[in-house]
Amino acid sequence: MTLFDGPIGPDTYAAIRYGYGFPARGAATAPGEMIAGLHGPDRMRMAFPKAGLPEAAAMGAAYIAARRDIKKEIPDADARLKALWQQIRQAQYTGLLADFARIADTRTPFRERLVHFWGNHFATRTKGRQSHACGPAFLDEAIRPYLAGRFADLLKAAVTHPVMLAFLDQTSSVGPNSKANGDGRRGLNENLAREVLELHTLGVGAGYSQRDVTEFAELLTGLTFDLKRDTGMVFKSKLAEPGAETVLGVRYGGKGKAKLSDVYAVLDDLSVHPATAAHVSRKIAAHFTSDTPDPSLTSAMAATWRDTGGDLTAVYTAMLNHPAAWAGFGAKVKLPREMLASAMRGLGLSGDDIMRTKAGRGRDWLMRPLVAMGHSYLGPPDPSGFPDEATAWVQPYGLAQRITWAMTTVQMVKTKGLAPDRFARDTLGDAASERLLWAVTRAETREEGLGLVLASAEFNRR
């Protein structure tokens, strides 16, 4: 017997595979309408705002100043430092709540899914207490405005955002022969160049060389920011390696001072490279449909990418219009954040309900469980992002944590009068198997039955 007894209809595919589950709350289920939902005002961002980079950077700069004042033994510096740390932690926590609140209230769940897909593709993690408040700004500033446009624009926004520059140590990269390295004590850092080629664009095995990495890294010198003075990326020619650089056989720069436009030129070219089209199209298909996506699906998406110059709306349309996008339901396992978000949506929590969650309760209900499940709210530990494959999440400890969270949540949330079998049907639609319906009606308590739905294999797959 298979996990899913009967045929899965398009509404269930749309709600669960391409969204955060039922109830749909007015969300579109037809491919054309799902695509249309990617455009227009970003209502969820406006409804549940986060601290932007200027505000977050100001907190970080004040924190650095207070820490410096402690060393100078200035009165009240310690108290200021503690108060600023609380502000930074609150900004970070509010950012996490806002992500869940947006998912709970959205009528365009495909949009929210894409936000977090691209956030993981361009994985970042803040370093140091002074920068923790900046983390939530990355999704809002580098990802959300660009996810339905040209990949080139998304790539440039993500790669040059200060959070990315800090994560990959670009601020320490200086041209060996630059004016800023007159004493020869500073050097080149290849982290950003390597990850852009290996992870963000071409992919491993795409035929680029170590020389390509080095010359690309030299081209990127000049990209920097300063949390104490700058609230955005700046390009400083004095940090840049002088002269032209050659990446994948194409010569960039070399005429006059190094310029930001030279960096953008190579990112533009990488965005439409055939290897990028193949690598990133496959990654999108693998995230939404199967760990081993249908080759005809990925080929259709890559061809659309090449034909349109990396128009992401066209690529998503090619995916949603392909038969393989609506087959093999349950091949993917929800990432922990997806599981928590779909549970909140299924239980009827509103965005305002989520935003009212006090920090102490939120740490126990959201932050610590996410860390325990391996999907830390702080971000992934390395630039490759969180794994997307089912095998990474279907393992005893992680599954036990999901079960614990499910059973705890149904005790915390108001569920009076909610019958487990009805809850299973309402949250899973066609995906509610007879086996699950039988099990939840025989649970010892109503709450255990509700928890079984959230902990079930049916609920945790898409």
115 and 143 Cβ atoms separated by less than 8 Å: yes
Give the per-residue pLDDT at 226.
77
Task: Please check whether residues 150 and 120 belong to one and the same domain.
Answer: yes
Residue 247 lies in a domain: yes
Q: Which helix (H) or strand (E) holds 450?
A: helix 446-455
Task: Please check whether residues 303 and 339 belong to one and the same domain.
Answer: no
Sign of the torsion angle spanned by Cα atoms 146, 336, 454, 353 = negative
- How far apart (Å, rounded) are the C-alpha atoms in residues 251 and 177? 18
Q: Is 40 helix (H, G, I), strand (E, B) or coil?
A: coil
Task: Please check whether residues 161 and 171 belong to one and the same domain.
Answer: no
Residue 13 lies in a domain: no
Task: Please check whether residues 315 and 340 belong to one and the same domain.
Answer: no
Q: Which amino acid is at 94?
A: T
Residue 283 lies in a domain: yes
Count up the domains in the chain and report the number. Answer: 4
Residue 311 lies in a domain: yes
Residue 8 lies in a domain: no
Residue 172 lies in a domain: yes
- How far apart (Å, rounded) are the C-alpha atoms in residues 449 and 462? 21
Residue 398 lies in a domain: yes
Task: Please check whether residues 396 and 431 belong to one and the same domain.
Answer: yes
Task: Please check whether residues 287 and 406 belong to one and the same domain.
Answer: no
- How far apart (Å, rounded) are the C-alpha atoms in residues 179 and 362? 49
Which residue, 132, 165, 198, sits at the end of a domain?
165
Give the per-residue pLDDT at 245.
97
- How far apart (Å, rounded) are the C-alpha atoms in residues 155 and 147? 10
- Give the torsion through C-alpha atoms of 69, 75, 77, 82, to 10 deg: 160
Transcribe 284-339 into DSSP letters: HHHHHT-SS--HHHHHHHHHHHHHHTSBHHHHHHHHHTSGGGGSSTT-SB--HHHH
Task: Please check whether residues 116 and 153 belong to one and the same domain.
Answer: yes
Task: Please check whether residues 173 and 90 belong to one and the same domain.
Answer: no
Q: What is the pTM of this model?
A: 0.96
Task: Please check whether residues 178 and 78 belong to one and the same domain.
Answer: no
Task: Please check whether residues 159 and 36 belong to one and the same domain.
Answer: yes
Q: Which amino acid is at 386?
A: F
Which residue, 143, 165, 187, sits at the end of a domain?
165
Give the per-residue pLDDT at 227.
67
With a cut of 70, which residues of the chain have pLDDT below it? 1, 227-228, 230
Task: Please check whether residues 217 and 292 belong to one and the same domain.
Answer: no
Task: Please check whether residues 444 and 344 belong to one and the same domain.
Answer: yes
- How far apart (Å, rounded) are the C-alpha atoms in residues 193 and 220? 7
- Give the torsion through C-alpha atoms of 171, 173, 174, 180, to 10 deg: 30
Average confidence score pLDDT of the chain: 95
Residue 9 lies in a domain: no
392 and 380 Cβ atoms separated by less than 8 Å: no
Give the per-residue pLDDT at 182.
83
- How far apart (Å, rounded) are the C-alpha atoms in residues 407 and 196? 41
| Domain hosting residue 264, numbered range | 167-271
Q: Which helix (H) or strand (E) holds 226?
A: none
